[in-house]
Chains A and B, each alone.
Chain A
Amino acid sequence: MAFFRMEGVSKRFGGVHALRGADLQVEPGRIHAILGENGAGKSTLIKIMAGVIQPDEGRMIMDGRDVRFASPAAANDAGIVCIFQELSLMPDLTVADNIVISHPPKRFGLIDRRAQRRIAEEALARAGGEDIHPLTPVRDLPLSRRQIVEIAKALSRNPRILILDEATSALTAADVTKVYEVLKRLRREGLALLYISHRMQEIDELADDCTVFRNGRNVATYAAGTKSDNEVVELMIGREYTHVFPPKPSEVPNAGAPLLEARGVSWTHRLKNVSLDVRRGEIVGLGGLDGQGQRELLLALFGVLRGVSGEVLIEGRPVPRMSPSRAKNPGIGMALIPEDRKTEGLMLPMSVRDNLSFAALDRLSRFGVIDDAAESAAIDRMIRLLAIRTDGTAVPVGALSGGNQQKVLIAKWLMVSPRIILLNDPTRGIDVGTKQEFYHLLRELAREGAAIVFYSTDYAELIGCCDRVLVLYDGAVKRVLAGPEITEHALVGSALNIATETRDVGARPMVGM
């Protein structure tokens, strides 16, 4: 008998059914993967379990009794702890403060800092983050380390059910390995783990049971490994799953002068003499472990960084005083799709319409006044082009699902018809269906003559989408792979900065950040 189960749980948001009569059973000592397309109801299900939102119908039964959680704190007290996709850390507080935040150890009514330190160190060690100093402000940690802190924080509450929502999406390869070990140990300790991920290989590696959600219902539950990837994806999207990646052109269509060229770009200690060139119609990938300077390179190209040495040339001409607002100029036509759509990309409380037109306002206005007709036409075109699922253009972007938010973000920059498109890990946390649409769009843009620089933490994307891949390590380009050279083996080998001839990649100690 499952010690936790949900029966007939439904939840509506406005007129939309996020969940309709969903069931779920959770067993101790097992890792249960939840799969499903975007908007399939996974996040809603988890939020109900974690006490963030209340179900309209249905029951939750824990240890044979009906339970209801009015707040995340109540769910935590019952032993259900969730690591959300959106980080729940307070940036100004130290790592230790964050880890013990819900139940700080106390002596004489005050927080016992020594005990807090001990708890934090233990939790960090359990989560594989021994190297993180407990007194560091979270603000100063890179995303992947923050994710480890997040896991440590969850473990410090001694959960019975641990829910991980895309918990590894920000992690480096080395961290992912550690997290796998941690999760497997927790399973041995008898924890129930719910695991949500869009990465199939993670699910293959970890899960015991899988439940697929579609349109707010659980459509199938099966033991891991009993269905092929293709069958699973078909269950998720409910349609034939053919090719994820569009075919690459046999040769780079236009071998002319590079549209975008960087020569010897350096910045502080994060970028070291990086050169790249991208032609029209070409998709150039940036690979390597997370945090090796890929983001900084994109920011440097986009004019966000100060004190960059080296040259950035557009059509062979250097660009003086590059900046994000200048990047839109027709003479440059560069767009950067940022990594963090919540803070850098979208204004969540504002409408889909406003978000879409922001970057293109100057093009859509005459004498400083926005031309409503032109704006509407442009927006309709984008919504059709990217198949953005939204209930009209007046709804706040924050109300859309993650994948659709990402589409709005991409569409916003396509509104300025950029010639050069820089993408910073754009598919993080979005579902297979949206990803597939996105890959086709990318290839389509390239075919229309755009030069694309695509940073991804997912090797499969680099292999499937890119004509060339630059592998960065410690701020420098370690290797350039082109065409058939782009293989997982080559990518992993060069990302770890070890010769690809070395076959025992896995046995080597991972090179640190």
Chain B
Amino acid sequence: MRDWGYRIREQRGTLLAFLVFVVMFAIYVVNHPAGFTANVVTTAANKGVLLALVAMAQTVVVLTSGIDLSVGMVFVLTNCLASALVVGSPAATALGVAAVLFTGLLCGVLNGLIVIYGRLQPIVATIATGAIFYGLALVLRPVPGGDVNSDLADALTSQLPGGVPASLVVLLVVVLALWLPFRRSEIGRGVYAVGSSELAAYMSGVPVGRAKFAAYCLSGLLAAMGGLFLTFLTYSGEASAANGNTYTLYSIAAVVLGGVSLFGGSGSAIGAIFGALAFRTIGDLLFVFDLDPLWQPLFQGIILLAAVCLGSFRLFRIRNRLELFG
């Protein structure tokens, strides 16, 4: 096999998620009454980017073969915080943005400390910290409200000249500035190594604790970006438990759709982004086919199940049953 053959095989999951998204989105815009217009794309992009950011947050932790059930709550907490801090003069706004992102990072730090040094199972630790984050969000915003710097919010949620949604550019910047360097850094390599085989990674001198810690920190930061973006879209903050839980679960769905292995060690945040965009498109599809929105959870469930089945088609090709357990 040539080099590019290996490279393509490595990115199989991401490519598949990309294809699924493209097909679904094509069906959506073809059937949309307004067609492929900048407004339709921008609306879809804005919603998609929210989930995409949270899915990226989930991905980095899943890569270590952990799971972060607090991403949705970090998302909600930072939304509430942003609705209080990201206001006023450009300088005050910038400071507010920094504070919100820093809070997300701190949430990740807390998760990381508990999981790595407290040696608790990620699933339990993050349920607990998720509840704490939600509690803090409730203290901040007992009732929905707040405000956000509307200049910044409008700039990031509208269209750039040429009709390109600004939110997609934001996402691209996050990928270029955070994900790709992380993927190619020593610590990022460590995250994959730990997820693939923690014992082997330790024996190879990989700083196992530091790699996992970095993953949880990055996860908190990315979830905070999602929370910030939610504030830009809604101009307010709301401590909604339903919202937090939905985003946590959808982020896992997006990760799976994006070809990231829940066992850790393989997959890419870019795959998870397309997984998130595809998952979002399901709801939009119901809209263009004029189905009752009540059907949405049912359809999302079915499509997720179908996608997971698609991903496991390889199991039918397995001739040696021992590989089923690999």
Q: Let me know if A66 is at the binding interface, CB within 8 A.
A: no
**In whole Å, how far is A75's beta carbon from the nearest beta carbon of chain B?**
8
**In whole Å, how far is A89's beta carbon from the nearest beta carbon of chain B?**
6
A104: B residues at CB distance < 8 A: 186, 189
Does the CB pair A91–B186 fall under 8 Å? no
Does the CB pair A110–B181 fall under 8 Å? yes
Does the CB pair B265–A93 fall under 8 Å? yes
Q: Let me know if B321 is at the binding interface, CB within 8 A.
A: yes
CA distance A199 to B51 in the complex (A): 58
Residue of B nearest to A268 (CB): B319
A136: B residues at CB distance < 8 A: 6
Question: Quick check: which of A94-102, A172-180, A187-195 contacts chain B, the rest being far away?
Answer: A94-102
Which residues of A pack against B, CB within 8 Å? Answer: 52, 71-73, 76, 84, 86-94, 97-98, 101-102, 104, 106, 109-111, 113, 133, 135-137, 139, 153, 267-268, 296, 299, 304-307, 344
B264: A residues at CB distance < 8 A: 92
Residue of B nearest to A116 (CB): B189
Interface size class of B (residues with CB under 8 A): 35 or more
- 26 chain-A/chain-B pairs, Cβ below 8 angstroms: A52-B203, A72-B202, A72-B204, A90-B192, A90-B197, A91-B197, A91-B265, A92-B265, A93-B193, A93-B196, A93-B265, A98-B204, A102-B205, A104-B189, A109-B185, A111-B186, A111-B189, A113-B184, A133-B1, A133-B6, A135-B10, A137-B10, A296-B320, A305-B319, A306-B320, A307-B319
* Interface flags, B188-211, vs A, CB<8A=1, else 0: 010011011101111111110000
Does the CB pair B320–A88 fall under 8 Å? no
Residue of A nearest to B316 (CB): A306
**In whole Å, how far is B192's beta carbon from the nearest beta carbon of chain A?**
6
Summarize A's interface: helix, strand, loop or mixed. loop
**Given A88-B204, A344-B322, 14 more pairs with CB closer than 8 A:** A86-B199, A88-B203, A90-B192, A90-B200, A90-B204, A92-B192, A92-B195, A92-B264, A92-B266, A102-B205, A267-B319, A268-B319, A299-B320, A306-B320
A98: B residues at CB distance < 8 A: 204
Q: Let me know if B23 is at the binding interface, CB within 8 A.
A: no
Asked, given contacts A97-B189, A106-B186, whether A304 binds B320 with beta carbons under 8 Å apart, the answer is yes
Residue in contact with B321 in the complex, picked from A76, A153, A306, CB distance below 8 Å: A306
**In whole Å, how far is A471's beta carbon from the nearest beta carbon of chain B?**
23
Does the CB pair B207–A94 fall under 8 Å? no
**In whole Å, how far is A501's beta carbon from the nearest beta carbon of chain B?**
37
Q: Let me know if B314 is at the binding interface, CB within 8 A.
A: no
Residue in contact with A101 in the complex, picked from B184, B185, B189, CB distance below 8 Å: B189
CA distance A287 to B81 in the complex (A): 69
CA distance A344 to B10 in the complex (A): 27
**In whole Å, how far is A271's beta carbon from the nearest beta carbon of chain B?**
11
Does the CB pair B205–A304 fall under 8 Å? no
**In whole Å, how far is B43's beta carbon from the nearest beta carbon of chain A?**
36
Does the CB pair A73–B321 fall under 8 Å? no
A86: B residues at CB distance < 8 A: 199
CA distance A101 to B204 in the complex (A): 7
Most buried by B among A92, A98, A113: A92
CA distance A101 to B187 in the complex (A): 10
B1: A residues at CB distance < 8 A: 133
**In whole Å, how far is B97's beta carbon from the nearest beta carbon of chain A?**
25
CA distance A145 to B192 in the complex (A): 22
CA distance A377 to B128 in the complex (A): 45
Does the CB pair B184–A110 fall under 8 Å? yes
Asked, given contacts A92-B195, A135-B6, A136-B6, whether A305 binds B204 with beta carbons under 8 Å apart, the answer is no
Most buried by A among B181, B189, B264: B189
B6: A residues at CB distance < 8 A: 94, 133, 135-136
CA distance A76 to B321 in the complex (A): 38
Does the CB pair B204–A153 fall under 8 Å? yes
Does the CB pair A84–B185 fall under 8 Å? no
B9: A residues at CB distance < 8 A: 137
**In whole Å, how far is A505's beta carbon from the nearest beta carbon of chain B?**
33
Residue of B nearest to A340 (CB): B322
**In whole Å, how far is B218's beta carbon from the nearest beta carbon of chain A?**
15
CA distance A98 to B184 in the complex (A): 14
* Interface flags, B304-323, vs A, CB<8A=1, else 0: 00000000000000111110
Does the CB pair B193–A101 fall under 8 Å? yes
* Interface flags, B1-16, vs A, CB<8A=1, else 0: 1010011011000000
Most buried by B among A88, A91, A296: A88
A110: B residues at CB distance < 8 A: 181, 184-185
Residue of B nearest to A77 (CB): B205
**In whole Å, how far is B226's beta carbon from the nearest beta carbon of chain A?**
25
